[in-house]
Structure 1
Amino acid sequence: MPSYSYRCRSCGDTFEKSRPMAEASDPAICPQGHEDSVKLLTTFGVVSSGGSSAPTPSAPAGGGCCGGGCCG
């Protein structure tokens, strides 16, 4: 079940609630009991292990808008 972050407009507390996606926008009561909360936009990062940053053999080398200096 996804976890969503909320901020209470009354006390400023930030808290999380696990709930179904269908209930993500429903009001959330803060731990202090206040009902006026807003759902926060949360982001996450993805970390990849391994791999190489070198171009693959099928990828063209170079750069720029055309991949190798044809724009001039």
Structure 2
Amino acid sequence: MPRYEYRCRTCGDTFELNRPMAESAAPATCPGGHGDTVKLLSTVAVGGTARGSAPAPAPSGGGGGCCGGGCCG
């Protein structure tokens, strides 16, 4: 079940709730009992490499685009 992060506008507390996606926009009450809350936009960071995999290749030069490809001139 997804976890959503909320902030209480009354006391400033930030808290998380596990709820179905269908209820993500439903009103949430903070642990202090206040009902004036807002759902925060959360980001997910995924990094690292899998075991046994080779490191990603380094970016190479070149490129496209008009001036990057030499068509301006």
Which TM-score bucket, shorter chain as reference?
0.7 to 0.9
One-letter identity of the residue aligned with 1:28: A
Structure 1 residue runs without a partner (length 5+): 56-60
| 1:28 paired to 2:31 | no
TM-score (norm 2): 0.75
TM-score (norm 1): 0.76
Q: List 4+ stretches of structure 1 deviating above 3 A.
A: none
**C-alpha separation in 2, matches of 1:36 and 1:51:** 49
**C-alpha separation in 2, matches of 1:4 and 1:14:** 11
Structure 2 residue runs without a partner (length 5+): none
Give 1:20 shift.
0.1
**C-alpha separation in 1, matches of 2:28 and 2:54:** 42
Count residues with an aligned counterpart. Answer: 65
Structure 2 CA distance for partners of 1:70 and 1:41, relative to 1, 3 Å? closer
2:55 match: secondary structure: coil
| 1:51 paired to 2:54 | yes
Give 1:52 shift.
2.1
Question: What's the counterpart of residue 63 of structure 1?
Answer: 62
**C-alpha separation in 2, matches of 1:33 and 1:39:** 16
